[in-house]
Chains A and B, each alone.
Chain A
Amino acid sequence: MPDVRVSQLYKTFGDVTVLHEVDFTIRDGEFFTLLGPSGCGKSTTLNCIAGLEKPTGGTITVGDTTFVDSTAKIFRTPEERNLGMVFQSYALWPHMTVAANLAMPLTIRKASKKDKQQRIADALDKVGLAHLADRYPHQLSGGQQQRVALARALVYSPSVLLLDEPLSNLDAKLREQARAWLKALQAELGITTVYVTHDQDEALALSDRIAVMADGRMLQIGTPKEIYETPAAPEVAAFVGRCNFLHGQVEKTDDDHVHVRLDACGEVVEVTGDAQPGQQVTVAVRPERLTVGPTGTGLPCEIVTSAYVGSHHEYHLRLGDQTVQVQSPRGDLTGAVGLTFAPEAALLYPRPLS
């Protein structure tokens, strides 16, 4: 299984630039996820790899094969790239049975009859649908269709598997099952996989590495843990998980501890990080890292709303002129409280002067 190398990938539609010189490398056998809000260019990136979109500039290589090289005017058509792809709508051909859907790519590759039967049986077996080979797509449930689509993408042993939001048409329960099952199958096959989603939980649960995108740019590429724990930018922190952003100015620093006076309430908080006194900064803290205590400790706040969401309680607190989200196991908090967090639990981002 080869590496996928994408460099300086650039795409415009008319005078709108959808991808700005995107660079990344997907390692052999890796489960790589493109994550980002709607319209950020995830599908466009994936379609460029698949050959369904022609990039305006850049190169894409898989192993030793160059798929796209805009300077050398190389463009390999999708049918000659030998990739497997699963679409959001599954795109099963409605006039063919499940077996015929799987047979088509094999027929094109001139597989022998015996080979064909063997491969179709294997692929359907892997997705647990061997008994449905003679059904038509409209006779299958959504979850079954999704698995047939996956079987069709795998049946001809493609070099790379591309998935564009394959689970988004399933209901919440089914989606979690499918997630676990997909992860297991990918690990078993060891196939290099590129996965597109705007669902951060999905991305965190499935991926070996995640690329977070916004507005056609790569914000950060890293393991799920890196992305969640040490987001490279406030945008990443905001998109992956929830986050409170508190603006302020650095008062003083000692070693790696920075004291920040918050604009919202005028109090000083202590954060680990690197900054110069007088600098404008943003302190980012996730709701589950905040602790609510009695008044007099930490930042003085007032509880505005509370909600019970099953595993924990969610609160909205007023901190000066700002609202802060807090997650807590306790459900009996009301009125004026004090808010604290450990210096290591927060992240510090410099803020450009505006």
Chain B
Amino acid sequence: MTTTLVTPRYRRFLGAGRELWVQYAVLGLLALLVLAPVVPTLYQSVLDRPLYEAGGILTADNYVRLFTDAGFGTVILNTALFAVGTTALTLLIAVPMAIAVVRTKLPGARLFAAAMQWPFFISSLILGFGWITLYGPAGFVSTQVRSWIGTVPWNLYSIPGMAVTEAVALAPIAYVFCANALRQSDASLESAAQVCGAGPLRILFSVIVPMLRPPMVYSSILVFSMSVETLSVPLLYGQPVGIPVFSTFLYSNGLQSINPDYGILGAASALILLVTVGLVALQAKLLKDAQRFVSVRGKATRPRRLDLGWINWVSIVAITFYVIFGALLPIGGLIFRSFTLIFTPLQSPFKTLTGANYERIFTFDAYTRSITNSLIIAAVGAVLVSALSLLAVIVARRSTFKYRRAVEYLALAPQAMPGLIIGIGLFWAFAYAPFGAGSLIQGTLVALIIGFGLRALPSGFGSIAPSIMQLGAELDNAARVSGADWVRTFTRILGRLMVPAFAGAMILTFVTMLKEYSPAIFLGSADSNILGTTMLELWVQGNTGSVAALATIQIAITAVFVGVAGLLMRGHHDA
């Protein structure tokens, strides 16, 4: 006979099991990270002098000044025009595209659906550079058109120009929402319409288009809030010709004036935060309602594809036009630009093929360092953010912790925090931090990892959360009943089973953080330059060749990383 076993007993610290300490630690860390940029910003917005100077007095004066003499009215108007234009154009591109790809007989639909992933690899900053290289006042295509018809019928450096570029960059987001809704929808409705003798076009407008209303509403809100906070395109197009929007207003007030007015900066940031938080909350609520609606409808049948005849050909041409002129040519042109001295149709660029653009980068230590800095931030940040996301997901979805909803909201909150404001807010937080702890971090890579990591946290959480819902709760229950406490269930069972999701989150956050730059505008220093800030610096100096080279390097790193990681993941999966 075997010996008798003792029932497991777990130590309690101060009357609480260790899981409670872990759960409170996760909550505390998330709260600290999220509140660090927000609280100083709100506080600064009602303070009469810089946060770190003694003797500040509470006042509403900053808001009064913002609306009376800072030219903020124009900024609001421009931002509204830009955001509305972007949203409308985004829908105009995305909705017909989703219908064409998902619901009509379109050759190459699979290939095209995959191509819609491109913004994952390419930052909007690089897209902006690419567009200017081709369609800017001195761009390749503009010059060519001018030589044909004597004038350029468009102006990129305008609010419509900004909106078109931003819409091209954001269209894939709206596309994904609409395409998913169309895939899930019930084909029997259409079959019913067909039986009643409705033609394909009729079915399209009476059955399919109304179905798209919910995804159109919430992707519009998402796109709107993203264009309110975006910095790249307004900075590249609007700033040189004096069209300020929210983000460039913060940029120039905080960075370019010699003596920044922190009160105005704080008040403007607080207002923008209010807008983005409101929009994201609204969008999240609508999305949740919509999902409830979908799940109630139950099993999805395979959608039927309509044959629209000549309209099919129109959609093929439109889609090809979008992919080629929106993304492929600008990015290709930018890459090509990195290998030439002069890029204009007036003289064959092949004559001036050169490696000089790359040489410059690799001879100057500051530029090379920006590449290694970006890599370090993305690599370290990806590990840290994915680990924190995993913990947050487990606490939020697999615990009985009293504040588990708060953990989820905190992890998703940075969605509503523009990168610039995270930068400004953390900058103030470090300046204000007790015991001079902040000054140790200020301007270092650590500061950037915190800022970028915060931005990437919602993607990390969002990519891990669905995987845990695939693991039955009975797996944890079995572990608990057989003697493992919550922490042990995590280390022995859930943690192990989440390894693939964790790896997926690492890839996603690595790429996200490699593309990120806006928090670094306030948090960075000469020593902690990264790809994005260096590109901006070189751009302002007019060094477009080297900008193109750095952009090419960033794209190449992303492509290699994603390729290798994909292979590793697949190998692991097969084993």
Contact = CB atoms under 8 A, between A and B. Distances in A.
Given A77-B17, A108-B483, A156-B483, A91 B478 contact: yes
Interface in A60-114: 77-85, 87-89, 91-95, 104-106, 108-112
Nearest to A149: B478
A51 interface: yes
Contacts of A226: none
A91 B483 contact: no
A118 B3 CA distance: 10
A221 interface: no
A88 B474 contact: yes
A153 B482 contact: yes
Contacts of A122: 2
A304 interface: no
Interface string B463-483: 000000000101101111111
Contact of B493 (A93, A118, A162): A93
A261 interface: no
A122 B3 CA distance: 13
A115 B6 CA distance: 13
Nearest to B400: A54
Tell me which of B4, B482, B483, B488 has the highest count of chain A C-beta atoms within 10 A of its own C-beta.
Answer: B482
B482 A52 contact: no
A111 B483 contact: no
B8 interface: yes
Given A106-B5, A109-B8, A77 B477 contact: no
B48 interface: no
A94 B497 contact: yes
A323 interface: no
A349 B5 CA distance: 52
A157 B497 contact: no
B400 to A, nearest CB: 8
Contact of B485 (A77, A83, A112, A156): A77
Interface string B1-24: 011111111100000010000000
Contact of B480 (A79, A118, A162): A79
Contacts of A110: 6
B4 A157 contact: yes
Interface size bracket, A side: 35 or more
Interface string B488-508: 100011001100000000000
Given A87-B474, A93-B475, A118-B2, A80 B481 contact: no
Interface in A121-140: 122
A91 B474 contact: yes
A78 to B, nearest CB: 4
B445 interface: no
Contacts of B169: none
A108 B497 CA distance: 19
Contacts of B496: 95
Interface residues of B, number: 28
B17 A84 contact: no
A79 B6 contact: no
A325 to B, nearest CB: 33
A95 to B, nearest CB: 5
A79 B480 CA distance: 5
A157 B6 CA distance: 10
A165 to B, nearest CB: 11
A152 interface: yes
A79 to B, nearest CB: 5
B481 A83 contact: yes
A156 B482 contact: yes
Nearest to A65: B7
Contacts of B173: none
B482 A104 contact: yes
B477 A91 contact: yes
A119 interface: yes
B331 interface: no
A79 B8 contact: yes
A212 B475 CA distance: 28
B484 interface: yes
Interface of A: 50-52, 54, 77-85, 87-89, 91-95, 104-106, 108-112, 115, 118-119, 122, 149, 152-153, 156-157, 162
7 contacts: A50-B481, A77-B17, A78-B481, A80-B10, A84-B482, A106-B5, A162-B481
Interface of B: 2-10, 17, 400, 472, 474-475, 477-485, 488, 492-493, 496-497
Given A81-B7, A108-B484, A118-B2, 10 more contacts: A52-B477, A52-B481, A77-B485, A79-B483, A79-B485, A85-B478, A88-B474, A109-B5, A119-B2, A153-B481
